[in-house]
């Protein structure tokens, strides 16, 4: 039987490290490379990670996963590379491909004597990028696509805090290739991930796969904004519980329940920027993008909406309230707070109010803010609490005893209280 391909993972950041471990666990021998020496040393020491499963996986994969010190060494030892590199958004919302191009420039010189070396781009890229990468490698290093190397696009639909499960339980896996050989190679790798579910591999050409990745996220953001649009009705109309409306319409299978419950705006490192990137792409292609623009606009007005609600509710407190922001990150099990509800509310209120943060997790970066780790102490120190992401542990906030009026503004509609001193305002319910 032919041995599984040996894979080099380039970029061992939030996604790359977990992905490399799934490869090592399922597919076999995997090498990891990152330019950041701090990251390499922390992997070697298996320093505690917040991402569930990661430390256990690294420990279990001791024999199948090893770190290499140079790209040259990694390519020599492997049959293909997965590139999981940053593609930060530029001012015009296009993704910056420079990390990938830099890396390809380091890979190129070592491919001359390789046959069909796999270069699998896992990072999210602008539609059209992979064809540019192929041309660059061919021209600059005198290589032939389909002979020396095969470039494929294979982004993953994951969220931080559940990466391992999201990879293995995803509904679909996008595989973009302009060559049949590319599909064959990736199918071979993924049969170890999804032995009986190979139909979830969606074989597309490179541009189709590039468009699909951002289209999926853009569609989900549209659904979230639609939910928030409905939620806004309750700000104006009495006797409306939008969660009941959502519960009813979600039973229509054409609509479905996912992303159709009361919650805050979409946030984090993927949803907002993927939608904006898709707008930019449609603009370039001269396709009307007003639907996606509205999605973004509705998202952007949510914070202002929360502040308006706060201004109404705060009247229940006689003095200038101290505000508590509960949940700094954009979701549970991650420290990432890119565009998180807490940070967006903070930006609007910090000049006028004293603000204290709390989170179920702890990260040294949280110390930049006024942060109280102990939940009860946090509760006692503030007057108005915003619950900014959903976590069962936050439910306890409505159970503490208090003789001072407290207001909890729950953006996720999951906190209840019988305490007459604690007023709960669930967004979307009036
Ligand atoms: N994090 C997510 O939730 C998520 C979800 C889906 C897709 N993605 C996409 O995956 C890609 C990676 O995201 P991430 O969150 O893991 O980023 P990250 O910043 O956490 O990790 C990127 C890693 O690449 C390393 N790196 C940079 N240049 C390098 C080079 N030349 N050689 C080797 N290593 C290098 C960095 O040191 C870093 O460790 C992005 O395109 C992102 O859009 C991320």
Candidates 22, 182, 5; CA nearest to 78 is 5
Asked if 143 and 108 count as a contact pair (C-beta separation under 8 A), the reply is: yes
Q: What value does the mean pLDDT of the chain take?
A: 96
Instruction: Write down the CATH superfamily of domain 206-430.
Output: NAD(P)-binding Rossmann-like Domain (3.40.50.720)
Atom 25 of ligand 1 has which residue's CA nearest to it?
Answer: 11
Does 206-430 match 7-204 at the fold level?
Answer: yes
Q: Say yes or no to pLDDT of 147 above 80.
A: yes
Residue 309: per-residue pLDDT: 96
> Is ligand 1 within 6 A of the CB of residue 123?
yes
pTM passes above 0.85 = yes
In b/e form, how buried is each residue of 155-188, taking b as 16+ CB within 10 angstroms?
bbbbbbbbbbebbeebeebbbbbbbeebbebbee
> Is ligand 1 within 6 A of the CB of residue 204?
no
Residue among 84, 89, 210 to mutate when testing ligand 1 (max atoms within 8 A of CB): 84
Q: CB under 8 Å to 63, separation ≥6 — which residues?
A: none
Task: State the closest ligand 1 atom to the C-alpha of 273, by its place in the atom list counted from 1.
Answer: 43
Collapsed DSSP state (helix, strand, coil) of residue 119: strand
Strand pairing class (406-410; 384-387): parallel
The class level of CATH for 7-204 reads: alpha beta
Q: CB under 8 Å to 32, separation ≥6 — which residues?
A: 8, 9, 12, 16, 17, 20, 43, 65, 66, 67, 68
Residue 364: per-residue pLDDT: 86
Residue 81, strand partner residues: 8, 119
**209 CA to middle of ligand 1, Å?**
19
Q: Say yes or no to pLDDT of 318 above 90.
A: no
Q: What is the pLDDT of residues 1-19, one digit of tens each?
A: 567 999 999 999 999 999 9
Q: What is the mean pLDDT of residues 339-361?
A: 96
Element (H, E) at 11: none
> Is ligand 1 within 6 A of the CB of residue 103?
yes
Candidates 142, 131, 84; CA nearest to 109 is 142
> Is ligand 1 within 6 A of the CB of residue 167?
no
Q: What is the mean pLDDT of residues 183-194?
A: 96
**326 CA to middle of ligand 1, Å?**
28
Q: CB under 8 Å to 173, separation ≥6 — which residues?
A: 154, 156, 190, 194, 200, 201, 202
> Is ligand 1 within 6 A of the CB of residue 51?
no
> Is ligand 1 within 6 A of the CB of residue 158?
yes
Helical H runs in 127-259? 129-141, 163-169, 180-190, 206-236, 242-249
Q: What is the pLDDT of residues 233-268, one digit of tens each?
A: 999 999 999 999 999 999 999 999 999 999 999 999
> Is ligand 1 within 6 A of the CB of residue 12?
yes
Q: Record the tokens describing residue 367, joined without a space.
A: 């110390």
Q: Record the tokens describing residue 121, joined without a space.
A: 């781009």
Task: State the closest ligand 1 atom to the C-alpha of 122, by its place in the atom list counted from 1.
Answer: 10
Residue 1: per-residue pLDDT: 52
Q: How many CB atoms lie within 10 A of CB 244?
A: 11
> What angle is formed at CA 306 by the lines to CA 325 and CA 404, rounded to 5 degrees?
55
Residue 283: per-residue pLDDT: 98
**What is the residue extent of each domain of the chain?**
7-204, 206-430
Q: Say yes or no to pLDDT of 302 above 90.
A: yes
Share of residues in the chain with pLDDT > 70 (%)? 100
Distance, first Cα to last Cα, the chain: 65
Q: What is the pLDDT of residues 359-395, one digit of tens each?
A: 998 888 888 999 999 999 999 999 999 999 999 999 9
Atom 43 of ligand 1 has which residue's CA nearest to it?
Answer: 124
Q: What is the pLDDT of residues 98-134, one digit of tens each?
A: 999 999 999 999 999 999 999 999 999 999 999 999 9
Atom 21 of ligand 1 has which residue's CA nearest to it?
Answer: 13
Residue 3: per-residue pLDDT: 75
- Residue 88 is given by DSSP the state -
């Amino acid at each position: 039987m032919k041995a599984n391909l040996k894979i080099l993972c380039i970029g061992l950041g939030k996604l790359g490290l977990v992905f490399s471990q799934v490869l090592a666990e399922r597919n076999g021998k995997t090498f990891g490379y990152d330019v950041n020496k701090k990251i390499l040393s922390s992997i070697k020491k298996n320093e505690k990670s917040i991402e569930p499963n990661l430390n256990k996986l690294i420990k279990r994969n001791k024999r199948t996963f090893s770190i290499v010190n140079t790209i040259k060494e990694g390519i020599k030892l492997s049959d293909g590379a997965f590139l999981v590199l940053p593609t930060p958004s530029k001012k015009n919302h296009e993704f910056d491909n420079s990390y990938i191009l830099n890396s390809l420039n380091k890979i190129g010189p070592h491919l001359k004597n390789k046959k069909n070396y796999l270069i699998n781009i896992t990072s999210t890229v602008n539609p059209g990028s992979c064809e540019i990468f192929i041309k660059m490698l061919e021209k600059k290093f005198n290589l032939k696509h389909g002979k020396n190397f095969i470039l494929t696009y294979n982004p993953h639909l994951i969220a931080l805090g559940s990466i391992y499960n999201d990879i293995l339980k995803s509904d679909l896996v996008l595989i973009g290739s302009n060559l049949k050989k590319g599909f064959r190679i990736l199918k071979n790798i993924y049969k170890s991930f999804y032995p009986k579910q190979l139909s979830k591999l969606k074989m597309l050409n490179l541009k189709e796969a590039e468009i699909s990745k951002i289209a999926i996220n853009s569609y989900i953001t549209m659904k979230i904004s639609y939910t928030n649009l409905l939620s806004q009705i309750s700000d104006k109309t009495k006797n409306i519980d939008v969660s009941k409306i959502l519960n009813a319409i979600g039973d229509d299978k054409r609509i479905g329940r996912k992303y159709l419950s009361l919650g805050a705006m979409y946030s984090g490192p993927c949803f907002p920027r993927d939608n904006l990137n898709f707008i930019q792409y449609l603009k370039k292609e001269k396709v009307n993008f007003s639907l996606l623009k509205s999605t973004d606009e509705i998202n952007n007005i949510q914070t202002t909406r929360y502040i308006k609600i706060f201004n109404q509710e705060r009247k229940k407190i006689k003095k200038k309230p101290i505000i508590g922001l509960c949940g700094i990150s954009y979701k549970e099990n991650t420290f990432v707070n890119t565009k998180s509800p807490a940070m967006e509310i903070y930006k609007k209120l910090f000049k006028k109010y004293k603000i204290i943060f709390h989170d179920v997790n702890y990260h040294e970066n949280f110390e930049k803010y006024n942060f109280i780790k102990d939940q009860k102490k946090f509760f006692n120190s503030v007057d108005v609490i915003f619950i900014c992401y959903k976590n069962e542990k936050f439910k306890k906030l409505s159970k503490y005893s208090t003789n001072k009026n407290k207001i909890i503004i729950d953006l996720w509609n999951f906190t209840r209280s019988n305490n007459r001193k604690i007023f709960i305002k669930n967004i979307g319910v009036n």
